[in-house]
Chains A and B, each alone.
Chain A
Amino acid sequence: MTGFPVLSVMTWAPFVAALIVMFFARHKPLLVRWVSLAGATVSLVASLWVYWEYDQAVAGFQFHETLSLVPQLGISYLLAVDGISVLMCVLTSIIIFAGVFASWTVKERGQEFYALLLLLVTGVYGVFVSLDLFVFFLFYEIAVLPMYLLIGIWGSSGYVQPQGIFGWAFGRTGVGSKEYAAMKLTLYLLFGSAFILVGILALYVAGGSRTFSFLDFQAMTFDPTLQSWVFLAFYVGFGILAGIWPLHTWSPDGHASAPTAVSMLHAGVLMKLGAYGVVRLGMGLLPDGTHQWAWLVGGIACVNIVYGALSAMAQKDLKYVIAYSSVSHMGVVMLGAATLTVAGLNGSVFQMFAHGIMTGLFFALVGLIYEKTHSRAIFTMGGFGTMMPGIATAFTIGGLSSLGLPATAGFVAEFLTFLGAWSSDHRWWLFPGVVGAFLTSIYVLRVVRQIFWGTKSEDPHFQNLPDAVGTEWVALGILVFVLVLFGVAPWIAIAPVDTATVPLLMRLAGR
């Protein structure tokens, strides 16, 4: 390893900030925020630097850092990034940077909140940059676990009316409360990570128990039967985090209950860990398994897209609408990956990025609206556009990106995915995708019209609501800017991604 360990700096900067926040900033709320901001800024700068310095002509994994941890078992601290992970790191840093601003107003236990948030981010970075699967899994768990506390302590509870033949079970489990959501999310994700661990260990043993390195695994050829079930394990394990149907129900409850910055980070970045895991480990290591199960991945993705959009349409709670739209959009991500075409996979990765930003924006906005109105019930609101024009504009832009309007990042992603879908072995995938985009336009604009347009609501709670102020603008401004920038100039993201997806697909085709 030569040169400056920029990946380590990027990964551990939030962790260091978390430690400082925990030990040196007790009862100094402003210091907590500034230290967190500093940590986020360091990793933002580092990730942008990595993006800038990444040599697209050379492609492949770059910025290697190696440090042997347990040589007897072949575990080492092995970091490197390729085109896909570069983009994901940039996404993470943008979201956490905006997230620090978005949670500026957290009052209760701010110190612990920021520390956990930053710890979580370290885990996310770690997943994106580790090439050693053991360390990868370690980071994955770090990324998943703080969520339990973040939702359980700082979350908000809703209410769900028990109905139907399973109604009795709802009262038993406490559906709607934040504790329920936190528990459901954590159990679901841990259930998934059990599959992942089994898959990783199976590869480790099949590879001779010498190494956990991704690069070494990539050089090996595994038995097709093994590939088949390990791929399935990875798909289910990571897929839970990516919100695949029917294992997605943690997502609406979890995202609806979580505090603003956590929803931003979770829907914006953590769900991408799932998709990233499927692409990186599933498709990257198991070509036969990928070919064998592509139909399943794509088919479920189609269900996700349409089902998520229809469910979002039926919601009356603003946060649930956004949460279900995530389920729908993650379907596009998985669909793009399942097409096994360059356009589709590029679209998939681009959608990870675009959805990360747009859903981050959405949750930031919903948080703001909730903070000001203390309500999430869409159909009691109305005519807020006059009072909060800034929030209305940002919400509209986010919504437009969500429905795939050109000149926003969402369009490029969806369009590439559609191209890929029609070029794949399963052409009909195109149609659920397009229908999903249309349904999205319906539920998004319906919500926009209900909340911001029309006659002003008579409710006394909704009078004289302020627009976004100060730090909130920073968060919104950054996200809107990125969303539009990547829609107008998609090549800045597609060019590096392309250097990673093309070799990956060539490997898949050559199996």
Chain B
Amino acid sequence: MTTDAAGLALLSLLLPAISFLLLGVVAPFRRTGRPAAWLSILFAAGAFGAAVLACRAQGIAGEPTRLIWNWLPSEGRALATIGVLVDADSTIMLVLVTLVALLVQLYSIGYLSDEPATALGRYYTYQSLFAFSMMGLVLSPNFLQLFMCWELVGLCSYLLIGFWYRKPEAARAAVKAFWTTKAGDVGLLIGIVLLWRQAGTFDLTDMRAMVESGALPVAGLSLITFCIYLGAMGKSAQFPLHVWLPDAMEGPTPVSALIHAATMVTAGVYLLHRTSWLFALTPDVLLIVAWIGAFTALLAAVLACVQDDIKRVLAYSTVSQLGYMMAAIGAGLSAAGFFHLLTHGVFKALLFLGAGAVIHGVGSNDLSRMGGLARKMPQTALLFIIGTLSLAGIPLFGGFLSKEEILGAVWAHGLVGPFILLMLVAFLTAFYMFRVVFLAFFAGPVPVSVASSGSPAHVKASAAHDSHAHGHSHEHDPPATMLLPLWTLGLLSLAVGIYFTLIAHALPVGEAEHAIEAPAWLTPSAVGVAVAGILLAWLTYQRRAIDAASLAGMFGPIRSAALAKFWIDDIFTFTFDVVLLGFSRLVGWVDRYVVDGLLNVVSAWTLTAGDRLRMIQTGRAQDYVYGVAVGLLILVLWMRWALA
């Protein structure tokens, strides 16, 4: 029975790989578009089925199992292996990944219906590759495979953000995402190399056994865990490497739902959760994780409040929620972070797909061009509100318990500072999300400064769909292939919320470490804060009882700083354009004109010397005869002198 779970997981992993190979290698089939898409969806469905079965089999067996093969032989042993490691966490994550991947692929059929067949084929090729890599990451039994899949999902993210590669913004955003995450990956790579030297293995199971038996030397471990955290920082968009995620919204919306909300960006959290036993040895690093997490959450929440692009609001909210998860990990209760990861994966995918439906209908990302959509697309509105309530952490909805757990963990761990930040974030989250809800679905656009004063860069009319920009004729609920995923995710987040609010009231994952007694006032105050946020949004944007402009005016400097994204992007741009490119130009110049210049000086001297010496070659035979005669004479004289 035990190998069954691992075997099923492996099957689940290989299905998208097969679909990727089919689509990637058989170019004529890929170019057919829709058939290729359905093939990919079919394989994704198979992967989802296998993942569910694997999860059940794992639940029955209980014990973690793994299947590994020698990947890099060295000195007759295996330097590194590949395979699958199946345990409670990896299977539940596998189910989430395959589910969201399946739903997003299904949804994309409708969303990308106007794309040419070749582009659609390309899209599904990338999607299959992504599903495979993400599952490989989730199931990886060692650091090396994890890193490899980590980079591959980064690649898919790059390719999918740049799906509309003709758009300069998309091309920019794609490389920005790649470079920023790669900068974090440099840390991760260093961390893995250092850890390998320290532990002598890449294997998670073996390493955990070493940690538990105390065989792993702790000296220098802080550096290693910090380096690993750097990787997570890049991937999970923690300050200051969060800059790529909002820009990544240049990709198609389903991609944002899958990669930049539900799965890939949470890989960093997943990594830290997987290695929480390692991080537990380095409390100083955990403290950094918690503070940066809480700070990121607040920063992103503030930024989300001033966005006018519906996708960017969601993007910043993702960054913010990732900060939440990181804070939980920093507080030592990684299970809470992981739980939030799962629920967040469901409701944030729902929100993004809902936003996609809105964008598909309206033909624009801009909130100021929406309004009153609840009447035109009622199902979408209902589902979007379910997602929003989940995100706000209202009881009976998906995110309630997981958020509670995180706040409880942070408080119990004595991290008062991060706790206050996170409470503030809870308020802001409810506020900015309901701002979107009211602006898009209920009241019409606010005719005053809030809507129009957004920085022009954010107002990208019809950024996603040029073909939809012609009018509002699409403003109705989307077709069935798009609604089905929405309903699935909506009902799932409701079910999760109801189950955990009323029945379980405890973490479904994690182990005995969950023994934190949250204070009794926590739940009421957290919910109260969220409700206050909703109320403020309602008063401002629905009732218009509070003038949005004067509200904005109250936070003048913060608001203008937030509109400038706190200048973090500018710092990066400056570093890249001026420092790095400038330095590279200097090196290039030195290479060409100094290193090579010296060489050319030597050869120029040689040429000149040759020219000078050439003067004595007159080319007249008589001069040479002179030379011979004089030389002979000298030789004769010298011989006489020498012999004498």
The answer to whether B596 has its CB under 8 Å from any CB of chain A is yes
- Do residues B73 and A438 form an inter-chain contact, with CB atoms below 8 A? no
Chain A residues within 8 Å of B197, by CB: 419, 422-423
Question: Within the complex, which residue of B148, B190, B193 is in contact with A407, where a contact is CB–CB below 8 Å?
Answer: B148
- Docked pose: A85 CA to B186 CA in angstroms: 32
- Do residues A406 and B73 form an inter-chain contact, with CB atoms below 8 A? no
The answer to whether A94 has its CB under 8 Å from any CB of chain B is no
Question: Within the complex, which residue of A167, A406, A411, A494 is in contact with B74, where a contact is CB–CB below 8 Å?
Answer: A494
- Do residues A452 and B165 form an inter-chain contact, with CB atoms below 8 A? yes
- Shortest beta-carbon distance from A411 to chain B in Å: 7
Chain A residues within 8 Å of B586, by CB: 314
Chain A residues within 8 Å of B589, by CB: 163-164, 314
- Docked pose: A170 CA to B147 CA in angstroms: 47
Contact segment of A125-133, A216-224, A439-447: A439-447
The answer to whether A509 has its CB under 8 Å from any CB of chain B is no
Chain B residues within 8 Å of A172, by CB: 600, 603-604, 607-608
Q: If the complex has contacts A166-B593, A169-B601, are A314 and B72 also in contact, measured as CB distance less than 8 A? A: no
- Do residues A169 and B178 form an inter-chain contact, with CB atoms below 8 A? no
Q: Chain B at the A interface: mostly helix, strand, loop or mixed?
A: helix
> B522-556: contact bitstring with A at CB < 8 Å (1 yes, 0 no)?
00000000000000000000000000000000000
Q: If the complex has contacts A406-B152, A438-B183, A449-B171, are A311 and B588 also in contact, measured as CB distance less than 8 A? A: yes
Chain A residues within 8 Å of B594, by CB: 164, 166
- Docked pose: A346 CA to B584 CA in angstroms: 31
Chain A residues within 8 Å of B151, by CB: 405-406, 411
- Docked pose: A386 CA to B179 CA in angstroms: 24
Q: If the complex has contacts A164-B593, A166-B597, A406-B147, are A385 and B165 also in contact, measured as CB distance less than 8 A? A: yes
- Do residues B166 and A455 form an inter-chain contact, with CB atoms below 8 A? yes
> B174-190: contact bitstring with A at CB < 8 Å (1 yes, 0 no)?
11001100110010011
Chain B residues within 8 Å of A175, by CB: 596, 600
> Which residue of B183, B580, B581, B584 has the most chain A CB atoms within 10 A of its CB atom?
B584
- Shortest beta-carbon distance from A354 to chain B in Å: 14
The answer to whether A310 has its CB under 8 Å from any CB of chain B is yes
- Docked pose: A229 CA to B588 CA in angstroms: 32
Q: Chain A at the B interface: mostly helix, strand, loop or mixed?
A: helix
Chain A residues within 8 Å of B183, by CB: 438
The answer to whether A313 has its CB under 8 Å from any CB of chain B is yes
Chain A residues within 8 Å of B585, by CB: 314
- Do residues A342 and B74 form an inter-chain contact, with CB atoms below 8 A? yes
Chain B, range 111-163, C-beta contacts under 8 Å to A: 118, 144, 147-149, 151-152, 155, 158, 162
- Shortest beta-carbon distance from B227 to chain A in Å: 10
- Shortest beta-carbon distance from A172 to chain B in Å: 4
Instruction: Give the total of B residues in contact with A, Cβ under 8 Å.
Output: 60
- Do residues A173 and B604 form an inter-chain contact, with CB atoms below 8 A? yes
- Docked pose: A342 CA to B148 CA in angstroms: 21
The answer to whether B466 has its CB under 8 Å from any CB of chain A is no
- Do residues B168 and A454 form an inter-chain contact, with CB atoms below 8 A? yes
- Docked pose: A165 CA to B151 CA in angstroms: 45
- Do residues A445 and B178 form an inter-chain contact, with CB atoms below 8 A? yes
- Docked pose: A500 CA to B570 CA in angstroms: 51
- Do residues A383 and B166 form an inter-chain contact, with CB atoms below 8 A? yes
Q: If the complex has contacts A164-B593, A314-B588, A385-B165, are A412 and B186 also in contact, measured as CB distance less than 8 A? A: no
Question: Within the complex, which residue of A165, A310, A456 is in contact with B588, where a contact is CB–CB below 8 Å?
Answer: A310
Chain A residues within 8 Å of B516, by CB: none
> A139-162: contact bitstring with B at CB < 8 Å (1 yes, 0 no)?
000000000000000000000100
> B339-358: contact bitstring with A at CB < 8 Å (1 yes, 0 no)?
00000000000000000000
Contact segment of A272-280, A372-380, A429-437: A429-437
- Docked pose: A403 CA to B71 CA in angstroms: 21
Chain B residues within 8 Å of A45, by CB: none
The answer to whether A3 has its CB under 8 Å from any CB of chain B is no
The answer to whether A249 has its CB under 8 Å from any CB of chain B is yes
The answer to whether B509 has its CB under 8 Å from any CB of chain A is no
- Docked pose: A418 CA to B190 CA in angstroms: 8
Question: Within the complex, which residue of A166, A406, A498 is in contact with B601, where a contact is CB–CB below 8 Å?
Answer: A166
> B354-366: contact bitstring with A at CB < 8 Å (1 yes, 0 no)?
0000000000000
The answer to whether A453 has its CB under 8 Å from any CB of chain B is yes
- Do residues B165 and A314 form an inter-chain contact, with CB atoms below 8 A? no
- Shortest beta-carbon distance from A176 to chain B in Å: 11
The answer to whether B79 has its CB under 8 Å from any CB of chain A is yes
- Docked pose: A431 CA to B191 CA in angstroms: 11
Which B residue's beta carbon lies closest to that of A171? B604
Q: If the complex has contacts A169-B601, A342-B74, A453-B171, are A422 and B182 also in contact, measured as CB distance less than 8 A? A: no
- Do residues B604 and A434 form an inter-chain contact, with CB atoms below 8 A? no
Chain B residues within 8 Å of A418, by CB: 189, 193
Chain A residues within 8 Å of B601, by CB: 166, 169
- Do residues B186 and A438 form an inter-chain contact, with CB atoms below 8 A? yes
Chain A residues within 8 Å of B600, by CB: 166, 169-170, 172-173, 175
- Do residues A422 and B584 form an inter-chain contact, with CB atoms below 8 A? no
- Docked pose: A445 CA to B75 CA in angstroms: 36
The answer to whether B70 has its CB under 8 Å from any CB of chain A is yes
- Do residues A400 and B75 form an inter-chain contact, with CB atoms below 8 A? no
- Do residues A407 and B152 form an inter-chain contact, with CB atoms below 8 A? yes
Which B residue's beta carbon lies closest to that of A327? B591
The answer to whether B592 has its CB under 8 Å from any CB of chain A is yes
Q: If the complex has contacts A166-B598, A246-B595, A313-B588, are A346 and B179 also in contact, measured as CB distance less than 8 A? A: no
Q: If the complex has contacts A249-B599, A438-B183, A454-B171, are A343 and B79 also in contact, measured as CB distance less than 8 A? A: yes
- Shortest beta-carbon distance from A98 to chain B in Å: 19
- Docked pose: A454 CA to B250 CA in angstroms: 13
- Do residues A314 and B584 form an inter-chain contact, with CB atoms below 8 A? yes
The answer to whether A495 has its CB under 8 Å from any CB of chain B is yes
User: Which residue numbers of B lie inside 8 Å of A, CB to CB?
Assistant: 70-75, 79, 118, 144, 147-149, 151-152, 155, 158, 162, 165-168, 171-172, 174-175, 178-179, 182-183, 186, 189-190, 193-194, 196-197, 580-581, 583-589, 591-601, 603-604, 607-608
Q: Could you name 18 residue pairs across A and B whose Cβ atoms are closer than 8 Å?
A: A163-B589, A164-B594, A169-B604, A173-B607, A310-B584, A310-B587, A346-B74, A407-B152, A411-B148, A411-B151, A418-B189, A418-B193, A434-B190, A441-B182, A445-B175, A446-B175, A449-B175, A495-B73
Cβ-closest 3 pairs across A and B: A314-B588, A166-B597, A406-B148
